Structure 1
Amino acid sequence: MFFLILAFTTWKMISIHGESLFSLACSHDNETCTVYKIDIDLVDNRATSNQIAAWHQSNIDEGFGSIAGFKNEKIGYIVMTTNCNSQVNLINISDLSQPVSSIMMKTTCTQPIHSLKDRWLLALGTASNGIGGSYPVSLYIFDPISGLSSRDIVHFDTMFAKSYQILHPQTGFSALNLNAPEPIFYTILYNLVNKTRHILSIHIETGRWSLNQIGDNLLRNLAFSVELNAPVCDCSLGGICVLNWESSQWDLFLPIPNFNNFMDWTFSADTQIMYFIRKQNIIVIDLSNKFSFQYRVLPLIEQTGYINGIDKTEKRQRPIYGTPGAKGLISEGATLYMAVNEIRASAKETGMKFWEYVNQGYKPNVNVVLLEDLAAVLGVCVAATAMGLSLYLHSPIPDAIGSLIIGCILGGVASFIIYSNTAALVGRSIHPNQIEAINNDLENDRMVRALYDIKATDMGSQSVMFKAEVDIDGREIARSYLERIDIDLILKEIQKIDTPESVEMFLLKHGENVVDRVGAEIDRIERNLRKKHPYLRHVDLEVL
């Protein structure tokens, strides 16, 4: 958020609450500051401005300063700087009859300022480098009500004095990410030696910082997008650009025609909306919807007061929506197509219908991909339809209904995933067709006379545990054993039997071999089952 020189007037926009902006203009010539309230009406597609206060302000440096808005016990305040005199001004916008108070700061210059939780503010202290710029000295948290500093985050002292300065010397160039596990403050520095731009990242909790070179096609307005998880700015490519962390370049993701000639701007971190003010209109850019970033152009109508150069002619323009929604539809549709093909092939292998296979949840991972992508595709279609109807009817009701429908879709998908995967937590039987195929293979084996107590449990991820009690045909076992030994040798052994001890030795020897043969046949049957039915991970056949 920045000041901008326009006819010796410094403009600043801050977002306090809802759809109202406060514009602060300070004149160096007249030594006065004026506050305007700008109401944003997204239903009627227009913005209206009203002058709400004015006061005398001395020691105004043209184009210098920083500003932030915050609330303390439901009272709205503005904190602003107008020069490098170690002071900031505190303005009660809930009661503008109160005089403006001054607070002594830790550093000579203070810019930029960001509001944190409650009434705490984050300030970047800077110092003049003597050549029309300023360099960062420290980052700290302070209480504007008491004027006391809460905590020093990091001290740079004169580390950047000779080689770097704040990109926009008068106002600073910064953004704040409060959604990270450790909140991060970003500001852009200009290398005076190499004439390159660098992003200074400071972790607010620990004071850790890093400095990395980035592309130079950013212009003047910086913010942090939660949806993109990266800084965004207006750029020379003609629209809003996002910082690509891998290439350290600014990539255009939302092109906007005639995106120039701004008097000032602001960004609401709560609603993820950027506002750009021009002479005739305000561009409202919504970065809160990951399905489709969008913007609209609202004519700016002056009701009271005089904002230099703003045309009073009301001219409606329809909002223009960005392309991320179409890109999301294509990507989600592609993965949905692959998930459908995968489930169709698996269902065909098991002899089941498509939705029967999905409902049984035999492949939970593929089911989740299928249902999430299906919800995404339906959500994009519903969102596009709802926004189109809201635009056509000039009513927020279709958009609200669309949001409810999308919520119901997401809730339904989550409920179905829970329902279809509940049985997997405790184990469930596989499809009857599969059980029948396994039983047929067992019963067709000559060693098996009958099957009892059959259990086939799906353990998830195409892993099945099969258990059955098997009645083995003793004659076939004996025949299998005899096929593997020399009958003449057994005959000779029998002819030598002439005592009870020799009978016992004969029976013990061949009885053990017959039992071993039973085990070998069971192992053979289990191997054949696993080979023919690859999804069988555990096979347990118990001999009766």
Structure 2
Amino acid sequence: MEYAAVVIGGSFLIEGASLLVAIQSVKKGAAQEGMTIRDYIWRGHDPTSVAVMTEDGAAVAGLAIAAASLVAVKMTGNAIYDPIGSIVVGNLLGMVAIFLIQRNRHALIGRAMDDQDMRKILHFLKNDSVVDALYDCKSEVIGPGSFRFKAEIDFNGQVVVQNYLKRTKHEEWAKLCGVFDKFREAAKKGDDSAMLNIMSNYGEEVVTALGSEVIRLEKQIRELVPGIQHVDIEAHNPMDQSL
């Protein structure tokens, strides 16, 4: 009995110290994500600290139950309290296992980011003047506190061009007018090769303008939700019947 008490006491000190460290880690994680501790335990992005805290908590509670069982056996002389304590500890560990399965199952099936973060991103995109409509917006957790976001966007072509010309200043206005003049001249002459060359160059400018908007949106999304590691923005194809 004395040896058992020493083992339980030593284990209680070790597990208790580990539990305190885990609790501090959970508090720190909750503060970083702006959540309450309760919300962080259920929805926090880093399940590791939560798992350690619950396991250590179960260990400390199990040791307390074991100690109570030993005391009951010692005081009453009835050995029935020993198996009762074992059953209670087993049920406790089972409940902790169920909680951890429920808590971490999304990591196995592709968990999406929190609704709050998703709403924040969608609100930003919907209120950006370059975005006419959003399609097929998806997110996925790829690691503790790390996400992937994907969306198809119907871009407002007029705003894309306006933003591009604002960035490139008046030189591009003159260049663009020159392109149209050259195209009209080539069309009058029926020079298909010249028209193709002119439109190819113009197409390059359009792609550059659209690419600049994609880069801008991706950068601002990462700033909005720092945990996003990968942003995949694509131009929506209205002819794609799979959507």
TM above 0.5, one fold? yes
Question: Which residue number in structure 2 is paired with residue 463 of structure 1?
Answer: 146
- Using the TM superposition, give the Cα deviation of residue 370 of structure 1 relative to its aligned residue in structure 2, in angstroms: 1.0
Distance across 1 between alignment mates of 2:158 and 2:181: 23
Distance across 2 between alignment mates of 1:399 and 1:355: 34
Distance across 2 between alignment mates of 1:365 and 1:445: 37
Select which of 22, 35, 39 maps to 1:339: 22
- 4+ residue runs over 6 A deviation: none
Which protein has the bigger strand share? 1
Identical residues among aligned pairs (%): 32
What are the residue-to-residue correspondences of 1:422-461 with 2, within 5 Å?
Answer: 422-461=105-144
Question: Contact 1:350 / 1:433 at 8 angstroms: preserved in 2?
Answer: no
CA 1:345–1:441 in 2, change beyond 3 Å: closer, same or farther? farther
Select which of 63, 71, 76 maps to 1:388: 71
Which letter maps to 1:449? D
SS at structure 1 position matched to 2:218: helix
5+ residue gaps, structure 2, are: 237-243
Question: Which residue number in structure 1 is paired with residue 204 of structure 2?
Answer: 512
- Using the TM superposition, give the Cα deviation of residue 488 of structure 1 relative to its aligned residue in structure 2, in angstroms: 3.0
Number of aligned residue pairs: 227
SS at structure 2 position matched to 1:362: coil
Question: Contact 1:361 / 1:420 at 8 angstroms: preserved in 2?
Answer: no
Q: What is the TM-score of this pair, normalised by structure 2?
A: 0.81
SS at structure 1 position matched to 2:128: coil
5+ residue gaps, structure 1, are: 1-283, 286-292, 295-320
SS at structure 2 position matched to 1:414: helix
Distance across 2 between alignment mates of 1:355 and 1:342: 14
Which letter maps to 2:200? L
- Using the TM superposition, give the Cα deviation of residue 432 of structure 1 relative to its aligned residue in structure 2, in angstroms: 1.0
Question: Contact 1:351 / 1:433 at 8 angstroms: preserved in 2?
Answer: no
Question: Contact 2:30 / 2:44 at 8 angstroms: preserved in 1?
Answer: no
Question: Which residue number in structure 2 is paired with residue 400 of structure 1?
Answer: 83
Which protein has the bigger helix share? 2
Larger radius of gyration: 1
Question: Contact 2:179 / 2:202 at 8 angstroms: preserved in 1?
Answer: no
Question: Which residue number in structure 1 is paired with residue 235 of structure 2?
Answer: 543
Cα offsets for 1:227-277 (capped at 9, x unmatched): xxxxxxxxxxxxxxxxxxxxxxxxxxxxxxxxxxxxxxxxxxxxxxxxxxx
- Using the TM superposition, give the Cα deviation of residue 494 of structure 1 relative to its aligned residue in structure 2, in angstroms: 4.4
Distance across 1 between alignment mates of 2:152 and 2:179: 36
Q: What is the TM-score of this pair, normalised by structure 1?
A: 0.39
- Using the TM superposition, give the Cα deviation of residue 348 of structure 1 relative to its aligned residue in structure 2, in angstroms: 4.3
The higher relative CO (CA closer than 8 Å, separation ≥ 6) is in: 2
What are the residue-to-residue correspondences of 1:99-138 with 2, within 5 Å?
Answer: none
Distance across 1 between alignment mates of 2:32 and 2:127: 22
- Using the TM superposition, give the Cα deviation of residue 400 of structure 1 relative to its aligned residue in structure 2, in angstroms: 2.0
Question: Which residue number in structure 2 is paired with residue 244 of structure 1?
Answer: none
What are the residue-to-residue correspondences of 1:245-284 with 2, within 5 Å?
Answer: none
Question: Which residue number in structure 1 is paired with residue 174 of structure 2?
Answer: 488
Question: Contact 2:113 / 2:140 at 8 angstroms: preserved in 1?
Answer: yes
SS at structure 2 position matched to 1:339: helix
CA 1:434–1:490 in 2, change beyond 3 Å: closer, same or farther? closer
Question: Which residue number in structure 2 is paired with residue 498 of structure 1?
Answer: 185
Select which of 181, 198, 222 maps to 1:530: 222
- Using the TM superposition, give the Cα deviation of residue 454 of structure 1 relative to its aligned residue in structure 2, in angstroms: 1.5
